[in-house]
Amino acid sequence: MSTTIPPWSPYEGRPSLVSKGRKTLTAAFADVVQSRAGFPSYELPDIFAAPNDEGENDAARDLVRLNAEHLVRMFANGRLATFARPLGGGEVVGIDAGLWELDDPLPRFATGAFNVERWTDPGAPLTHRIFVDDAQFDEWLAALKPLGPLTARQVEEIVDPQLRAARVVAARRVNLGPTVKAGSGELRIAASSDPPGVGPMLLSIDEVSELIGRSQSSIYEDEKKGVFPERLKLGSSSRWRKDEVLAWIEEQSAKRGGR
């Protein structure tokens, strides 16, 4: 038996499909998107029908995709078991974890189904519905930290993949050893004064201010705007992660160099 399931149509309603100890992939993903991104399942069809705009619409789609990729990693490494059942009902069989090594897993989430003979072809007639182990999923989701409200920096990374890549590269450079210091408004590259594994990993506001050559008030203001790394709350005090601050400096240096 094969059928057509319009992409994202399973999220318009929440049909009760019974399978002992399992829940449909679409029901599981609806729970993930609701808890991690704050999107009710019925909004997914509209999110993917909205025009490209290099702004809010694209950011929403990218956020949904990131959640799908996160869940697929759990499938691919065997942490969450998945199963296939013929459309309309029949014998349930396990899906090998290795099959989740897909370039684009999103079509599986759009329909919650696949073709058993042509797993990698999302355009093939659908023959089987995908299920997830219910107990494993609930345990995983319960331990999953909600994303919470996105900061301006996070939204920038979703909308601009190049910026996200630049920040990753900056962080990698910091972790490899060399650091970048800033003072009196000028950015300059310098050798790290702390050998690997030595020196403070958390910085006070005074140390951050001295490191980047900016006033404390401007640091707090940029953090509030979401364009500077967030501080960690440690009881009554606050600290910044040194590697995040150094990566931010690398990012500023790269921006100046690209002008």
Q: Are residue 117 and residue 158 in the same domain, yes or no?
A: no
Strand locations in the chain, DSSP E?
A: 22-24, 82-86, 93-95, 113-114, 128-133, 179-183, 186-190, 202-203, 232-234, 237-241
Do residues 227 and 150 touch, judged by C-beta distance below 8 A? no
Same domain for 59 and 127, yes or no, is yes
Dist. CA 162–CA 184, nearest whole Å: 29
Q: Which of 143, 175, 204 is the last residue of a domain?
A: 143
Residue 103 clears pLDDT 60, i.e. is over it? yes
Expressed as residue numbers, the domain containing 18 is 9-143
Q: Same domain for 22 and 127?
A: yes
Tell me what pLDDT residue 101 has.
92
- Is the domain of 110 the same as that of 172? no
Of residues 36, 43, 30, 18, the one with CA closest to residue 142: 36
Contacts of 31 (CB under 8 A, 6+ apart): 137, 141
Q: Which two tokens stand for residue 175?
A: 């972790």
Is 202 a member of any domain?
yes
| One domain, residues 173 and 234 | yes
Q: Band the pLDDT of 160: cuts 50, 70, 90.
A: low
pLDDT in tens, 49-92: 999 887 788 888 888 998 899 899 999 999 999 999 999 899 99
Query: Could you tell me if 131 and 90 are in contact, meaning their C-beta atoms sit under 8 angstroms apart?
Result: no
- Residue 205 — pLDDT band, cuts 50, 70, 90? very high
Among the candidates 120, 143, 166, a domain finishes at: 143
pLDDT value of residue 190:
36
Write down the mean pLDDT value for the chain.
80
Q: Is 193's pLDDT higher than 90?
A: no
CA angle 20, 23, 28 (to 5 degrees): 165
- Residue 127: per-residue pLDDT: 95
| Structural domain total, the chain | 2
User: How many other CB atoms are there within 10 angstroms of residue 57's CB atom?
Assistant: 16
What is the predicted pLDDT for the residue at 184?
40
CA distance linking residue 129 with residue 125, whole number of Å: 12
Q: Does residue 1 sit within a domain?
A: no
**What is the Cα Rg of the chain in Å?**
23
H or E stretch covering 101? none
Domain assignment of residue 3, yes or no: no
- Say if residue 177 is in the same domain as residue 198: yes
> Is residue 34's pLDDT more than 70?
yes
Tell whether the model's pLDDT for residue 188 goes beyond 70.
no
Separation between Cα atoms, residue 30 and residue 223, nearest integer Å: 32
Give the pair of three-digit tokens for residue 248: 């931010």
61/211 Cα distance (integer angstroms): 37
The residue from 143, 174, 195 where one domain ends is 143
Q: Amino acid identity, residue 120?
A: T
Does residue 246 sit within a domain? yes
62 domain residue, yes or no: yes
Give a yes or no: residue 197 inside a domain: yes
Residues 157 and 139 both lie in one domain: no
138 and 174 in a single domain? The answer is: no
Sorted by sequence, the CB contacts under 8 Å of residue 13 that are 6+ apart come out as 42
Residue 218, pLDDT score: 93
15 and 134: one domain? yes
Q: Is 108 a residue whose pLDDT tops 90?
A: yes
Partner residues linked to 146 by β-bridges: none
Please check whether residues 111 and 195 belong to one and the same domain.
no
